[in-house]
Amino acid sequence: MLWIDCPWCGPRPETEFRYGGEAHIARPEPAATDDAAWADYLFMRTNPKGVHAERWMHREGCRRWFNALRDTVSNDVVAIYPMGAPRPDASGDEAGDD
């Protein structure tokens, strides 16, 4: 059971949250996106061993979405940051695009 520090409600058990998959995947401009790039947006996700930027939503609480950096090896949540904010500095990966 992960414990996630909701920026609005404080630390809460994982069962209160919905996992939202990888963060910083912006919806591309459809007309300017070829099939391969559209498929990439729809289906392709990174699966790093280490720090992963991902989205969470506090479903049983404030129902707000936010981003988190989680180490997929230790499950440590190393950062929580708002939707739309750039990925904070954390070891092992480049900054996000959104």
Partner 1 sequence: MRFRLKEGGRIDRTQRLRFTFNGQSYEGFAGDTLASALIANGTHLTSRSFKYHRPRGILTAGAEEPSALVQLGEGARTEPNLRATQVELYDGLTATGVNAWPSANCDFAAWTGRFAPLFPAGFYYKTFLWPASFWKSLYEPVIRRMAGLGRAPEAPDPDSYDKMNVHCDVLVVGGGPAGIAAALAAGEAGARVLLVDEQAALGGALLGLRHHVDGADGAAWAEAAANRLATMPEVRVLTRTTLFGYYDHNSLSALERRTDHLGPRAPAGTGRQRLWHIKAGRVVLATGAHERPLVFADNDRPGVMLASAAQRYVNHYAALPGERAVLFTNNDAAYEAAHDIVEAGGTVGAVVDCRPEPAAPLAPALKQAGVPLHIGSVIAATHGTKRVRSVTVAKLGEGGGPSSEQYRIYCDSVLASGGWNPAVHLFSQSAGKLAFEEARGIFLPGQATQAVEVTGAANGSFGLAGCLAEGAAAGARAAQAAGFGDGTAPPIPSSDAPEPGAITPYWLAPGQKPVGHGKAKHMVDHQDDVTAADIRLAAREGFRSVEHVKRYTTVGMGTDQGKTANVNGLAILADALGKTVPEVGFTTYRPPYTPVTFGALAGRDTGPLMDPLRRTAMHEWHEAEGAVFEPVGQWHRPWWYPKPGEDNHAAVARECRAVRDAVGILDASTLGKIDIKGPDAATLLDMIYTNAFSTLKVGRVRYGLMCGDDGMVFDDGTTARLGENHYLMTTTTGNAAHVLEWLEEWLQTEWPELKVYCTSVTEQWATVALAGPKARDVLAALAPDMALDTDSFPFMSVKEGTVAGVDARVFRISFTGELSFEINVPWHHGRHLWEALMEAGAAHGIAPYGTEAMHVLRAERGFIIVGQETDGTTTPHDLGMDWIVSKKKPDFLGKRAWSREDTRRDDRKQLVGILTDDPGTVLPEGTQLVDRPGRPPLPMIGHVTSSYASPALGRSIALALVKGGRGRKGETVHAAPESGFVPCKITEPVFYDSEGAKRDG
Question: Which residues of this protein are in contact with partner 1, per CB under 8 A?
Answer: 1-3, 13, 18, 20, 26-27, 30-31, 33, 35, 38-39, 41-42, 55, 57, 59, 63-65, 73-75, 83-84
Residue 57 found at the interface with Zn ion (CB under 5 A): no
Stretch that binds Zn ion, among 53-61, 65-73, 75-83, 89-97 (CB under 5 A): 53-61
Q: In the bound complex, what is the minimum distance in angstroms from residue 10's beta carbon to Zn ion? A: 8
Q: Say how far apart CA 40 and CA 70 lie, in whole Å.
A: 23
Q: Say how far apart CA 9 and CA 6 lie, in whole Å.
A: 5
Which residues inside 24-43 make contact with Zn ion, applying CB under 5 A?
A: none
DSSP letter string, 42-69: HH-----SSEEEEEEE-TTTT--EEEEE
Q: Say how far apart CA 37 and CA 34 lie, in whole Å.
A: 5
Residue 8 found at the interface with Zn ion (CB under 5 A): yes
Nearer to partner 1, 20 or 96 (CB): 20
Nearest Cα residue to 67 out of 24, 11, 12: 24
